[in-house]
Amino acid sequence: MRSTPEARMDPGRRQPRAWKARALAELTAARARLLRMLEGLPEDALTRQHSPLMSPLVWDVAHVANYEEQWLLRRLGAPALTDAAFDALYDAFRHPRASRSQLPLLTPERAFAYAARVREASLEWLHAAPEDSDEPLLRDGFVFGMVAQHEQQHLETLAATLQLMTSHVYRPAERPRPRPARAAQYEVLIPGGPVHLGSDAPWAYDNERPAHPVDVAPFLLDSHPVTNGDYLVFVESGGYADARWWEPKGFEWMRAQGLRHPLFWQPQTGGTWLRRRFGQVEPLPYDEPVQHVCWYEADAYARWAGKRLPTEAEWEKAATGSDGQPRTYPWGEAPPTAAHATLGGDTWGPSPVGSHPEGVSSDGVWGLLGDVWEWTASTFHGYPGFSAFPYREYSEVFFGPEYRVLRGGAWASAPVAVRNSFRNWDYPIRRHLFAGFRCARDMR
């Protein structure tokens, strides 16, 4: 590995900066979660293609390690552990998910061993890395944060794959979720004015940059995400059969798919409903945010309710607060804890609405981070002055009207990868995501 200027450092600066401690903690947390999630799964479960929408689980294991090797080792001057042919095997753009099970992938044993070898080398580099650098990848530890976030984002993808599995029963050990008294849904007035859209924070992605002011007109926003109980009224009132509520393309797609309710819901005789969650069939909890609905379903419900989906600028205005002061999280700058939001994946499901009073925004909006991703009305585009960094394939190649933006993170999202400015995106037909929504309404 390339030597660093550690020996030339001022003795008074030998204590590592906060970014080094944070990078170590985040990389360690991501890897511990990966091993915890997949521990005990048989080889067939790890190598099988469980859905054409998702990779074999073992592909993701080697992919996150290869990404780490490319960015934390080779790009920073360390010797290569693999070659270009290996990179191509785990290139997400070269091989569609539906075909990855046909590739000559590493066996689970070899994939986990490769990931461990890469991580050992990465931590050696982290220890020796200069605390200050003019290199953009190293400034404030950006590349370490990028790799930690990338791994956690793939762990959310693994959770979605585990939910889709039907050939194996996956029953995780769950951290208990709070069960508050039922929370009433109401509308919160979000005053108009400027919002500091985006972020220039050290670990923010390129699509969050540059931070810039945007004026937002006053609007009303639901205090909580739409719940299963709320959405059930739409289902049982014939919402899926009424074209009035649907964007025409979405209605045509929905009818062609024969959809009548959210993914994983199961209607029963007598008017009761169940849902399948990680191999378990259980009563539908009316007080949890609805999840596994696509953008078309969210948009249709909002129209049926006489409302609409918020734009992402409106969503971020609500998360930031009407006083216009930039905040990393709806509650301020304190890092997320279990008291603020349901995050990190260990609950294996969202909490009921009203569970986190410490996470309420300054305007009184609940649950903006965690539990479920929230679809917005916005399509995915770069902000004015956008510049791809460190590679176009993270954001820029997805810009366009075919993708819709989601905000806020889900129960399966890691705290390192959620903040007011974080932008997720996907096709409007995607239902396997841990995605829900809340409604907005124009002031009249």
Domains in the chain (CATH in brackets) are 14-164 (1.20.120.450), 187-227+288-442 (3.90.1580.10)
Half-sphere exposure of 77 (CA within 13 A, CB side): 12
Q: CA 436 to CA 406: how far, in whole Å?
A: 9
- Tokens representing 112 are 């986990």
Residues 6+ apart with CB under 8 A from 220: 187, 188, 189, 190, 440, 441, 442, 443
Residues 6+ apart with CB under 8 A from 391: none
Between the alpha carbon of residue 222 and those of residues 245, 258, 314, 340, the distances in Å are: 19, 30, 12, 19
Residue-level pLDDT, tens digit, the chain, 444 residues: 333 333 323 333 334 578 999 999 999 999 999 999 999 999 999 999 999 999 999 999 999 999 999 999 999 999 999 999 999 999 999 999 999 999 999 999 999 999 999 999 999 999 998 888 889 999 999 999 999 999 999 999 999 999 999 877 787 877 878 777 678 899 999 998 999 899 999 999 999 999 999 999 999 999 999 999 999 999 999 999 999 999 999 999 999 999 999 999 999 998 899 999 998 999 999 999 999 999 999 999 999 999 999 999 999 999 999 887 889 999 999 999 999 999 999 999 999 999 999 999 999 999 999 999 999 999 999 999 999 999 999 999 999 999 999 999 999 999 999 999 999 999 999 999 999 999 999 987
DSSP for 9-72, written as a single string:
S-GGG-SPPHHHHHHHHHHHHHHHHHHHHHTT--HHHHHS---TTS--HHHHHHHHHHHHIIII
Helix H or strand E segment including 153: helix 142-164
Q: CA 303 to CA 297: how far, in whole Å?
A: 10
- Determine contact, residues 144/82, Cβ cutoff 8 Å: no
Between the alpha carbon of residue 79 and those of residues 72, 122, 364, the distances in Å are: 11, 11, 52
Half-sphere exposure of 211 (CA within 13 A, CB side): 18
Taking the whole predicted model, whether its pTM rises above 0.85 is answered as yes
